[in-house]
């Protein structure tokens, strides 16, 4: 039995912290994947639960190995969790293989959870590929129609639509509208990969209207896991924003502010020699003294 319900969960979540689930891969360096999701949920007042789809051997420089969990054991984790714990929102990240994507889709269809944020993770910030062609097709066909919010970066939007990578805000708008035709209720095309020194805008589409969500670009190379963190923050915040149509835009804006603040504080951490993590606990930990390199 799946212990969740669309109608009741938002109301219950007002009285108690929401239980939020991440279904994703592990990042030993802690900046992306399951580890980033658990930090994000915890920082934003949600109780974190997790189902692991794959182990990666990874640091801030590169992914050197991927070891996928057998699909039936992904399903066993999902069933053990949901037979006991009420799930108020789900974030889906790295799915690793087509059979894992299908196992997750089967479970999501039966679980009927109101808020499902899908981050179609395909390529790590280091440039390493995390999803094969069969898995992309399973993601497109089985997972996208179940998403309340789909959060592709620019290369992922290009792959899902089978066309050139969007390179301007106008192309991001067009991509968001076309991705909405594949089934997700909202699409957030992320502008982290835009060639802009001033801004990092995202576009949010509800299938009809497209809204630009502006943010200043933070001058830092500590962008490992920004996408994982943004999608996890949306999943953590959605149950607190209710079920009205305005819930998604307001949760997305709050999630983007959280990511921007984490990027601005990332120089306070000292993690690895490549693309470091953002600071998930920037609002909770004592401020570190300013060093000579202000932006990492």
Ligand X SMILES: Nc1ncnc2c1ncn2[C@@H]1O[C@H](COP(=O)(O)OP(=O)(O)OP(=O)(O)O)[C@@H](O)[C@H]1O
Q: How far is CA 254 from CA 10, 237, 266, in A?
A: 18, 8, 18
Question: Contacting Mg ion (CB under 5 A), which of 71, 93, 99, 227?
Answer: 227
Give me the DSSP letters along 19-56. EEEEEEEE-TTSSSHHHHHHHHHHHTT-EEEEEEEEEE
Question: Contacting ligand X (CB under 6 A), which of 144, 259, 265, 269?
Answer: 259
* Contact string 215-244 vs ligand X (x = CB under 6 A): x-xx-x--xxxxxx-x--------------
Three-state SS string over 157-217 comes to HHHHHCCCCCCCHHHHHHHHHHHHCCCCCEEEECCCCCCCCCECCEEEECCCCEEEECCEC
228 is catalytic: yes
Residue 190 engages ligand X in binding (rule: CB under 6 A): yes
Question: Contacting ligand X (CB under 6 A), which of 9, 153, 171, 266?
Answer: 153
DSSP 4: -
227 is catalytic: yes
Rounded to a whole number of angstroms, the minimum distance from the CB of residue 190 to Mg ion is: 8
Q: Indicate the residue among 64 and 83 with the shorter CB distance to ligand X.
A: 64
190 is catalytic: yes
Q: What is the number of alpha carbons within 13 Å of residue 19 lying toward its C-beta?
A: 14
33 is catalytic: no
Q: Indicate the residue among 71 and 225 with the shorter CB distance to ligand X.
A: 225
Query: 247 φ, ψ to 5°?
Result: -65, -40
225 is catalytic: yes
* Contact string 27-56 vs ligand X (x = CB under 6 A): -----x------------------------
Binding partner selected for residue 200 from Mg ion, ligand X, none, CB under the kind-specific 5 to 8 Å limit: ligand X
**Catalytic positions, please?**
190, 223, 225-228
């Amino acid at each position: 039995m799946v212990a969740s319900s669309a109608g009741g969960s938002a109301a219950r979540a007002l009285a108690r912290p929401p239980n939020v689930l991440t279904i994703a891969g592990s990042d030993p360096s802690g900046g992306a994947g399951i580890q980033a999701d658990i930090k994000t949920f915890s920082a934003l007042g949600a109780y974190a639960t997790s189902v692991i789809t794959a182990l990666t051997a990874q640091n801030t420089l590169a992914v050197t190995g991927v070891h996928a969990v057998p699909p039936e054991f992904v399903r066993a984790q999902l069933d053990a969790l949901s037979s006991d714990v009420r799930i108020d929102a789900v974030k889906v990240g790295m799915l690793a293989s087509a059979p894992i994507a299908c196992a997750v889709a089967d479970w999501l269809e039966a679980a009927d959870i109101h808020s499902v944020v899908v981050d179609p993770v395909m390529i790590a910030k280091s440039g390493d590929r995390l999803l094969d062609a069969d898995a992309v097709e399973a993601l497109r066909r089985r997972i996208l129609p179940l998403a309340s919010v789909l959060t592709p970066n620019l290369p992922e939007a290009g792959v899902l639509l089978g066309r050139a990578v969007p390179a301007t805000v106008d192309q991001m708008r067009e991509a968001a509208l076309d991705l909405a035709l594949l089934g997700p209720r909202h699409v957030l095309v992320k502008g982290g990969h835009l060639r802009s020194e001033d801004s990092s805008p995202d576009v949010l589409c509800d299938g009809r209207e497209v809204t630009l969500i502006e943010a200043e670009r933070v001058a830092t190379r500590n962008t490992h896991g920004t996408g994982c963190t943004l999608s996890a923050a949306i999943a953590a915040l959605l149950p607190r924003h209710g079920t009205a149509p305005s819930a998604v835009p307001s949760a997305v804006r709050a999630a983007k502010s959280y990511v921007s603040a984490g990027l601005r504080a990332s120089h306070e951490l000292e993690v690895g020699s490549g693309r470091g993590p953002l600071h998930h606990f920037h609002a909770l930990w004592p401020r570190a003294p300013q060093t000579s390199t202000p932006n990492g």
